[in-house]
Amino acid sequence: MLKFYHNPRCKKSRDGLAYLKSKTNDFVLIEYLKKGITRDNINEILLKANLKPSDIIRKQEEVYKKELKGKKFTDKEWIMIIVENPKLLQRPVLVGKHKATIAQPPEKIDDIVK
């Protein structure tokens, strides 16, 4: 089962969701800003997308600009920062059985949904 990490207030996320729906209905929609996101969720995304935590940070967010920019953190620290500030997670994210992608542009969904 696919997992789609979604923020309904984000145009890119809404575009990704519409694109995903045009490909399949076999997915779970996760509104991670409401539900939260766990360290295990983030580790799964990172592992399956072959990314580092700093690769999935939204650097345009105020919390990043004011509190995090220019500072050095370990991967574990970045993961905990994302758990505590889920709006820092790039979106949308699609996680499949073996792969994950940040679905920007939405066509990156094709990497997961064949």
pLDDT tens digit string along 7-41? 999 999 999 999 999 999 999 999 999 999 999 99
Question: How much is the pTM?
Answer: 0.95
- Range of the structural domain that residue 51 is part of: 2-111
Report residue 28: phi and psi, to 5°.
-105, 130
pLDDT at site 91 = 96
Helix ranges, 1-114 (H): 11-23, 32-35, 39-49, 62-63, 75-84
Mean pLDDT of 42-58: 97
d(CA 89, CA 61): 10
Domain count, the chain: 1
**CATH number for the domain harbouring residue 62:** 3.40.30.10
